[in-house]
């Protein structure tokens, strides 16, 4: 059969690829999105559901703020509220050293547009009486929050389809190559041609980087997540801990979603939470929220996430191939910024540039490092 | 060979036979069982101090129960027995346990024999969540384990051999059985006769229960459709459709079940290959007649991998243990193996007959016929209508997607109760066979786990 031609082909129906598809389709461009499983069923759909700017490195803040504006009008954007709430994000310190780190972070990102409030002592106890005595202080970001990734991420793909993008699920891409005026793909037995190719394939992003001679230190990570039975309202904020470890949020219907530690792989696409890590998470978590002791866990899970060694995504043009754009490797923190990353990719296709600073996310940073170039600041 | 560390999950007929077989070969298996006393569901033992004789607890099966309990007492000193212990997760080489004192532990194994048994298959219908509605199995547990009857006026509804057995046991124990309401027709039973003749003893017992109930004036109805359980806050009546008419009866409790379903979560977590089984109308881990699975060192026996009953479970337990021993380098007793396998095959023929005699209600009764506002998932309060809406509006074609988007199967039961209904509804929406919508993936923990078990109390 003859190959169909699109302005843009997107590899991967996670929140980044689907957001790009949505933006491009709304700009009137023809888009095909190819997803080997179901849209939003990978890391974008099974992650913890934190929607926070606090804690991100300075170079991610502009992208994160752009995402923040998208989340603000999520219902209009994708057609559902996705259980998104601006509950505040409370990052806890369990020692004076951790408190000092929270202060240092606030200073580091001062002037980037994020309002953080440091609380400790009696103020902390009065405002957050549910916290255990292990907590000595916290940094509060009032407009951060959380959402349900199982609902939000697939809804991006549905909104893209509604806007005219062609979404092909359960379609494995087996080959990609550069042609005279774009790209040719083999996908689910069809040939597809496109002017631009967006590589938003998360842990599967290596297919396109390898095809075009780009070596990136992409690896996979596996979060350990769990959820309790529904409980009476206990805490509204999205809870994190300085230095990582435990994170938790309570959803409207009462369940507490929590996570911490790392799982392990069964194979390329399947993984499991590590029970020892989860026990540690619950041990640490009940010290922070003692009321959790009297509850039951009803489910554990994990998912495959794409990691980069510096925990920053690869976002922007390929270093080798014109028309190829990358958006992967969000390193376990892509849910909040995913919608903006997709918007940036759409900017690059539509306008050839973006107003959002993304230099720090260039794929070339790894090549530079390999060539022993002097360390560069990415900001 | 003494460095083997075989683990058996389940101390019912299959697990006990398997343990005895391994002991006879000089091994010392670990036997982990969720119940506090061995025997499984069918030969469940009452707590200490209860004095009902075995003849009234187990009826025709009392000699078998007695024999199995004695066998267990005999092997008990030679096994590492872990009663009251939940296996809540399974990895490639270890199980995660929660012991009866609430302590979490990890248990390694070289070989694993799963004899996890079965629970009732239920289909939601109007009023099924009314307090006073129990599964047939739960009604039997109340009688066998606690010496209590539910009711006193109780209706038995659904289908399967357990329907008449438990009704008989209740009537004998003094309950007021207001009726036995079988969704299968008498004609189905006649048609199944050739198959049933393979298990002539069972057939005789089944006929005895029916005859006894009839002689004692218990009304019995065939080919009925359960319509609703009546009552607010507690059961006050049961309504059904039969012979083209709608009827009702006053009662205080309803025991309901549509045969049994295998407990397959551990095999699923281990990664055993599953296949759809038309007879059981369920996805089951694949097993050969020897009890071997798609995974080396993992074996299946008993109702946990397809319903075949207690006698088959004993045979399959021994057979799977012999397979384990053979795989571990022991010399196989070919004659014993041939005998066990020929008996298992005979029972399999009888099972085919039974499934024809007690066919599950047509899939559309549990699917298209359910009202939109009927709650299917009692853990998460998810209605039939919300599943249909997801199928229509969100284009869901697969069960795990349905789970992600609606929460069906995400609650405490992880789909063990509601999964069949969700399958029926999605298949009805898509107008496809139930197996075409896939199966819910198992996730740990197999049952809800208290957080105090997992996270130690903080020192503060």
For residues B154 and B149, give the distance between their C-alpha atoms in angstroms, rounded to a whole number: 9
Q: How many CA atoms lie within 13 A of A294 on its CB side?
A: 5
Q: Considering only A33-47, A130-144, B159-173, B358-372, which range has the smallest mean pLDDT?
A: B358-372
Query: Does A240 lie in the same domain as A122?
Result: yes
Contact B19, B29 (CB under 8 A): yes
Picking from B139, B150, B128, the residue whose alpha carbon sits closest to that of residue B239 is B128
Q: What are the tens digits of pLDDT across the range B226-239?
A: 999 999 999 999 99
> C-alpha angle with apex A302: B403 to A80, nearest 5 degrees?
45
Tell me, yes or no, whether B292 lies in a domain: yes
Query: Does A180 lie in the same domain as A288?
Result: no
Q: Identify all chain B residues contacting A281, using CB atoms and an 8 Å cutoff.
A: 455
Query: Which domain-ending residue is among A271, A286, A302?
Result: A302
A57: tokens are 């490195």
Tell me, yes or no, whether A60 lies in a domain: no
| CB-CB under 8 Å, A273 with B452 | no
User: Which residues lie closer than 8 Å to B155 by C-beta, 6 or more apart?
Assistant: B177, B178, B179, B181, B238, B249, B251, B253, B254, B255
β B118-120/B80-82 pair status: unpaired
Q: Is A229 on the interface with B (CB under 8 A)?
A: yes
**Average pLDDT in the A312-335 region?**
97
- The predicted pLDDT at position B102 comes to 79
Q: Which helix (H) or strand (E) holds A90?
A: strand A89-93
- The predicted pLDDT at position B359 comes to 77
| CB-CB under 8 Å, B451 with A293 | yes
Query: Does A126 lie in the same domain as A174?
Result: no
A305–chain B nearest CA distance, Å: 18
Query: Does A168 lie in the same domain as A133?
Result: no
Picking from B223, B218, B180, B215, the residue whose alpha carbon sits closest to that of residue B358 is B223
β A256-262/A223-228 pair status: antiparallel
Number of domains observed in the structure of chain B? 3
Tell me, yes or no, whether A62 lies in a domain: no
Number of domains observed in the structure of chain A? 2
SS (HEC) of B202-241: HHHHHHHHHHHHHHCCCCEECCCEEEEEECCCCCCEEEEE
**B71-76, long-range: CB < 8 A, 24+ apart:** B71/B16, B71/B17, B71/B20, B72/B11, B72/B16, B72/B38, B72/B39, B74/B20, B75/B16, B75/B19, B75/B20, B75/B23
B89 vs B3: which has the higher pLDDT: B89
Tell me, yes or no, whether B96 lies in a domain: yes
Whether the pLDDT of residue A1 is over 60: the answer is no
Count of Cβ atoms closer than 10 Å to residue A115 Cβ? 11
Q: Is A47 on the interface with B (CB under 8 A)?
A: no
Query: Does B422 lie in the same domain as B394?
Result: yes
Q: Which helix (H) or strand (E) holds A128?
A: none
| CB-CB under 8 Å, B450 with A287 | no
| CB-CB under 8 Å, B394 with A158 | yes
Query: Does B128 lie in the same domain as B111?
Result: no
Picking from A277, A279, A338, the residue whose alpha carbon sits closest to that of residue A306 is A338
Q: What is the domain-level CATH number for residue B377?
A: 1.10.10
Q: What are the tens digits of pLDDT across the range A147-180?
A: 999 999 999 999 999 999 999 999 999 999 999 8
Q: Is A279 on the interface with B (CB under 8 A)?
A: yes
* Mutation choice for A interface testing from B450, B454, B459, B460 by most A CBs within 10 A: B454
Average pLDDT, chain B: 90
Whether the pLDDT of residue B456 is over 50: the answer is no
A274–chain B nearest CA distance, Å: 10
**Average pLDDT in the B27-42 region?**
94
> 3-state DSSP call for residue A118?
strand
| CB-CB under 8 Å, A134 with B460 | yes
A162 vs B48: which has the higher pLDDT: A162
Q: Is A293 on the interface with B (CB under 8 A)?
A: yes
| CB-CB under 8 Å, A45 with B455 | no
Tell me, yes or no, whether B351 lies in a domain: no
Q: Is B271 on the interface with A (CB under 8 A)?
A: yes
Q: Considering only A122-126, A206-210, B145-149, which range has the smallest mean pLDDT?
A: B145-149
Query: Does A104 lie in the same domain as A199?
Result: no
Query: Does B221 lie in the same domain as B100?
Result: no
**Average pLDDT in the B70-94 region?**
96
Query: Does A351 lie in the same domain as A290?
Result: no
Query: Does B143 lie in the same domain as B65?
Result: no
Q: Identify all chain B residues contacting A299, using CB atoms and an 8 Å cutoff.
A: 410, 414, 443-445
Q: Identify all chain A residues contacting B414, using CB atoms and an 8 Å cutoff.
A: 298-299
- The predicted pLDDT at position A2 comes to 58
**Average pLDDT in the B30-51 region?**
89
Name the residue range of residue B400's domain: 363-437
For tokens 């309990």, the residue is B69
Query: Does B308 lie in the same domain as B205?
Result: no
State what percent of residues in chain A have pLDDT above 70.
Answer: 96
| CB-CB under 8 Å, A298 with B445 | yes
- The predicted pLDDT at position B108 comes to 97
B275: tokens are 């296949």
Q: Is B378 on the interface with A (CB under 8 A)?
A: no
Rounded-to-10 torsion of CA B450, B455, B457, B459: -170
- A:B CB pairs within 8 Å: 91
Query: Does A292 lie in the same domain as A157?
Result: no
End-to-end CA distance of chain A: 48
- The predicted pLDDT at position A222 comes to 95
Q: Is B457 on the interface with A (CB under 8 A)?
A: yes
Name the residue range of residue A322's domain: 4-48+150-218+308-370
Tell me, yes or no, whether A67 lies in a domain: no
Q: Identify all chain B residues contacting A133, using CB atoms and an 8 Å cutoff.
A: 460
Nearest CA in chain A to B445: A299
Q: Identify all chain A residues contacting B458, using CB atoms and an 8 Å cutoff.
A: 132, 134, 283, 286-287, 290
- Who among B405, B410, B448 is closest to A154 (CB)? B405
- The predicted pLDDT at position B52 comes to 78
**Average pLDDT in the B271-286 region?**
93
Query: Does B252 lie in the same domain as B158?
Result: yes
Name the burial class of residue B44, with classes exposed (0-12), middle (13-18) and buried (19+) by CB atoms within 10 angstroms of its CB.
buried
| CB-CB under 8 Å, A229 with B412 | yes
Q: Is B265 on the interface with A (CB under 8 A)?
A: no
Picking from A40, A3, A66, A18, the residue whose alpha carbon sits closest to that of residue A163 is A18
Whether the pLDDT of residue B95 is over 70: the answer is yes
Q: What is the domain-level CATH number for residue A22?
A: 3.50.50.60
Q: Identify all chain A residues contacting B460, using CB atoms and an 8 Å cutoff.
A: 132-134, 287
- The predicted pLDDT at position A369 comes to 52
Whether the pLDDT of residue A273 is over 60: the answer is yes
Tell me, yes or no, whether A74 lies in a domain: no
Residues recorded for chain B: 460
**Average pLDDT in the B35-43 region?**
91
B75: tokens are 């092997």
**Average pLDDT in the A87-99 region?**
97
Query: Does B83 lie in the same domain as B126?
Result: no
Picking from B364, B313, B257, B273, the residue whose alpha carbon sits closest to that of residue B116 is B313
Tell me, yes or no, whether B423 lies in a domain: yes
User: Which residues lie closer than 8 Å to A135 by C-beta, 6 or more apart?
Assistant: A92, A93, A94, A124, A128, A288
Tell me, yes or no, whether A362 lies in a domain: yes
Q: What is the domain-level CATH number for residue B317?
A: 3.50.50.60
| CB-CB under 8 Å, A154 with B394 | yes
Query: Does A228 lie in the same domain as A214?
Result: no
DSSP A179: E
Q: What are the tens digits of pLDDT across the range A8-42?
A: 999 999 999 999 999 999 999 999 999 999 999 99
Where residue B197 falls among pLDDT bands split at 50, 70, 90? Answer: low
Name the burial class of residue A64, with classes exposed (0-12), middle (13-18) and buried (19+) by CB atoms within 10 angstroms of its CB.
buried
Tell me, yes or no, whether B130 lies in a domain: yes
> C-alpha angle with apex A18: A15 to A22, nearest 5 degrees?
130
For residues A38 and B401, give the distance between their C-alpha atoms in angstroms, rounded to a whole number: 8
Whether the pLDDT of residue B103 is over 90: the answer is no
**A348-357, long-range: CB < 8 A, 24+ apart:** A348/A316, A348/A317, A349/A7, A349/A8, A349/A20, A349/A24, A349/A29, A349/A196, A349/A198, A349/A325, A350/A24, A350/A27, A350/A29, A356/A62, A356/A63, A356/A66, A357/A59, A357/A62, A357/A63
B348 vs B239: which has the higher pLDDT: B239
Query: Does A234 lie in the same domain as A362?
Result: no
Average pLDDT, chain A: 94
B21: tokens are 């077989």
Query: Does B285 lie in the same domain as B237?
Result: no
- The predicted pLDDT at position B458 comes to 34
For residues A35 and A193, give the distance between their C-alpha atoms in angstroms, rounded to a whole number: 16
| CB-CB under 8 Å, B450 with A134 | no
Q: Identify all chain B residues contacting A132, using CB atoms and an 8 Å cutoff.
A: 458, 460
- The predicted pLDDT at position B144 comes to 84
Query: Does A187 lie in the same domain as A232?
Result: no
Query: Does B133 lie in the same domain as B146?
Result: yes
- The predicted pLDDT at position A3 comes to 73
Q: Identify all chain B residues contacting A273, using CB atoms and an 8 Å cutoff.
A: 444
Q: Is A286 on the interface with B (CB under 8 A)?
A: yes
- Who among A41, A150, A293 is closest to B452 (CB)? A293
Query: Does B111 lie in the same domain as B47?
Result: yes
- The predicted pLDDT at position B158 comes to 94
| CB-CB under 8 Å, B404 with A298 | no
Tell me, yes or no, whether A64 lies in a domain: no
| CB-CB under 8 Å, A45 with B445 | no
Q: Is B375 on the interface with A (CB under 8 A)?
A: no
Query: Does B381 lie in the same domain as B394?
Result: yes
Contact A282, A296 (CB under 8 A): no
Rounded-to-10 torsion of CA B37, B266, A297, A46: -170
Q: Is A287 on the interface with B (CB under 8 A)?
A: yes
- Structure pTM? 0.92
Q: What is the domain-level CATH number for residue A292?
A: 3.30.9.10
Q: Phi and psi (nearest 5°) for B97?
A: -115, 155
Query: Does A11 lie in the same domain as A133?
Result: no
**Average pLDDT in the A197-214 region?**
96
Query: Which domain-ending residue is among A257, A285, A302?
Result: A302
Q: Is A378 on the interface with B (CB under 8 A)?
A: no
Where residue B354 falls among pLDDT bands split at 50, 70, 90? Answer: confident
Name the burial class of residue B229, with classes exposed (0-12), middle (13-18) and buried (19+) by CB atoms within 10 angstroms of its CB.
buried
| CB-CB under 8 Å, B404 with A45 | yes
A102–chain B nearest CA distance, Å: 23
- 297-316 in chain B: CB under 8 A from chain A: none
Nearest CA in chain B to A301: B443
Picking from A253, A267, A336, A340, the residue whose alpha carbon sits closest to that of residue A298 is A253
* Mutation choice for B interface testing from A256, A275, A283 by most B CBs within 10 A: A275
Q: Identify all chain A residues contacting B379, using CB atoms and an 8 Å cutoff.
A: 298
Q: Is B146 on the interface with A (CB under 8 A)?
A: no
Q: Is A204 on the interface with B (CB under 8 A)?
A: no
Query: Which domain-ending residue is among A302, A321, A350?
Result: A302
| CB-CB under 8 Å, A297 with B454 | yes
Highest mean pLDDT among A272-286, B66-80, B203-217: B66-80
Whether the pLDDT of residue B59 is over 80: the answer is no
- Who among A150, A228, A275 is closest to B405 (CB)? A150
A275–chain B nearest CA distance, Å: 8
Q: DSSP for B154-166?
A: EEEEEESHHHHHH
Whether the pLDDT of residue A342 is over 80: the answer is yes
Query: Does A263 lie in the same domain as A125?
Result: yes
End-to-end CA distance of chain B: 48
Tell me, yes or no, whether B449 lies in a domain: no
- Who among A134, A272, A297 is closest to B449 (CB)? A297
**A203-207, long-range: CB < 8 A, 24+ apart:** A203/A42, A203/A43, A203/A268, A203/A269, A203/A304, A203/A305, A203/A306, A204/A11, A204/A12, A204/A36, A205/A11, A205/A12, A205/A306, A205/A314, A205/A326, A205/A328, A205/A329, A207/A11, A207/A173, A207/A176
Query: Which domain-ending residue is among B258, B280, B300?
Result: B258
Whether the pLDDT of residue A377 is over 60: the answer is no
| CB-CB under 8 Å, A293 with B455 | yes
Where residue B56 falls among pLDDT bands split at 50, 70, 90? Answer: confident
Q: Is B413 on the interface with A (CB under 8 A)?
A: no
Tell me, yes or no, whether B346 lies in a domain: no
| CB-CB under 8 Å, A290 with B404 | no
Query: Does B418 lie in the same domain as B313?
Result: no
- 433-452 in chain B: CB under 8 A from chain A: 443-445, 448-452
Where residue A375 falls among pLDDT bands split at 50, 70, 90? Answer: very low
Q: Phi and psi (nearest 5°) for B264?
A: -110, 10
């Amino acid at each position: 059969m003859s190959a169909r031609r699109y302005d843009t082909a997107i590899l991967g129906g996670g929140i980044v690829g689907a957001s790009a598809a949505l933006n491009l389709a709304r700009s009137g461009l023809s888009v095909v999105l190819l997803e080997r499983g179901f849209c939003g069923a990978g890391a974008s759909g099974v992650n913890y559901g934190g929607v926070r700017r606090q804690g991100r490195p300075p170079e991610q803040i502009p992208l994160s703020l752009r995402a923040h504006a998208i989340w603000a009008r999520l219902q209009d954007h994708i057609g559902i509220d996705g259980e998104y709430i601006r509950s505040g994000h409370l990052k806890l310190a369990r020692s004076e050293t951790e408190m000092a780190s929270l202060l240092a972070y606030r200073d580091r990102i001062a002037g980037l547009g994020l309002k953080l409030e440091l609380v400790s002592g009696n103020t902390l106890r009065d405002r957050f009486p549910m916290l255990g005595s292990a907590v000595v202080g916290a940094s509060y970001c009032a407009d951060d929050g959380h959402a349900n990734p199982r609902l939000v991420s697939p809804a991006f793909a549905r909104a893209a389809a509604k806007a005219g993008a062609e979404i092909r699920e359960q379609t494995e891409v087996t080959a990609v190559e550069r042609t005279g005026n774009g790209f040719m793909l083999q996908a689910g037995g069809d040939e597809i041609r496109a002017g631009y190719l967006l590589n938003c394939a998360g842990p599967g992003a290596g297919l396109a980087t390898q095809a075009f001679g780009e070596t990136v230190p992409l690896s996979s990570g596996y979060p350990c997540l769990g959820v309790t039975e529904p409980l009476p309202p206990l805490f509204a904020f999205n809870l994190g801990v300085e230095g990582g470890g435990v994170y938790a949020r309570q959803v409207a219907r009462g369940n507490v979603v929590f996570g911490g530690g790392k799982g392990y792989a069964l194979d390329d696409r399947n993984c499991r939470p590590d029970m020892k890590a989860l026990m540690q998470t619950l041990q640490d978590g009940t010290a922070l929220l003692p009321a959790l002791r009297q509850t039951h866990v009803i489910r554990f899970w994990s998912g495959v996430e794409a990691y980069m060694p510096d925990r920053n995504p690869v976002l922007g043009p390929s270093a080798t191939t014109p028309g190829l754009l990358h958006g992967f490797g969000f390193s376990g923190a892509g849910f909040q910024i995913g919608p903006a990353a997709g918007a940036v990719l759409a900017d690059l296709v539509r306008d050839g540039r973006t107003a959002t600073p993304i230099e720090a996310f260039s794929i070339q940073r790894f090549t530079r490092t390999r060539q022993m170039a002097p360390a560069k600041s990415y900001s | 060979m003494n460095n083997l560390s075989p683990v058996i999950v389940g101390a019912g007929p299959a697990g006990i036979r398997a343990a005895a077989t391994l002991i006879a070969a000089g091994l010392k298996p670990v036997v982990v069982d969720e119940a506090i006393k061995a025997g499984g569901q069918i030969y469940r033992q009452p707590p200490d101090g209860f004095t009902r004789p075995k003849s009234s607890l187990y009826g025709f099966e009392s000699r078998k129960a007695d024999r199995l309990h004695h066998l267990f007492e005999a092997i008990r000193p030679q096994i590492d027995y872990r009663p009251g212990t939940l296996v809540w997760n399974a990895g490639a080489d270890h199980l995660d346990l929660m012991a009866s004192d609430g302590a979490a532990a990890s248990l390694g194994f070289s070989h694993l024999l799963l004899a996890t048994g079965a629970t009732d298959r239920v289909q939601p219908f109007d009023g099924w969540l009314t307090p006073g509605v129990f599964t047939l199995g739960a009604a039997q547990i109340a009688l066998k384990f606690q010496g209590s009857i539910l009711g006193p006026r109780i209706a038995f509804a659904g289908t399967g051999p357990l329907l008449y057995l438990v009704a008989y046991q209740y009537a004998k124990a003094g309950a007021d059985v207001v009726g036995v309401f079988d969704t299968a027709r008498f004609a189905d039973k006649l048609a199944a006769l050739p198959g049933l003749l393979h298990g002539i003893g069972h057939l005789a017992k089944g006929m005895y229960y029916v005859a006894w109930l009839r002689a004692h004036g218990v009304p019995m109805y065939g080919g009925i459709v359960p319509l609703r359980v009546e009552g607010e806050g507690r059961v006050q009546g049961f309504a059904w459709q039969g012979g083209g008419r709608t009827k009702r009866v006053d009662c205080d409790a309803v025991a309901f079940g549509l045969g049994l379903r295998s407990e397959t979560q551990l095999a699923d977590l281990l990664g055993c290959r599953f296949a759809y089984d038309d007879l059981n109308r369920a996805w089951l881990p694949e097993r050969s007649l020897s009890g071997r699975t798609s995974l080396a060192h993992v074996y299946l026996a008993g109702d946990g991998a397809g319903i075949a009953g207690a006698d088959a479970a004993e045979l399959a337990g021994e057979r799977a243990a012999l397979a384990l021993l053979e795989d571990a380098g022991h010399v196989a007793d070919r004659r014993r193996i041939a005998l066990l396998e020929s008996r298992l095959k005979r029972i399999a023929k009888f099972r085919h007959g039974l499934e024809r005699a007690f066919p599950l209600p047509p899939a559309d009764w549990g699917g298209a016929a359910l009202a939109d506002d009927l709650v299917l998932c009692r853990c998460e309060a998810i209605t039939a209508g919300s599943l249909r809406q997801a199928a229509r509006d969100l284009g869901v074609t697969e069960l795990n997607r349905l789970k992600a988007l609606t929460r069906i199967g995400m609650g405490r039961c992880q789909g063990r109760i509601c999964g069949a209904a969700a399958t029926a509804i999605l298949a009805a929406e898509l107008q496809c066979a139930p197996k075409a919508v896939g199966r819910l993936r198992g996730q740990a923990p197999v049952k809800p786990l208290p957080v105090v078990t997992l996270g130690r109390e903080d020192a503060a």
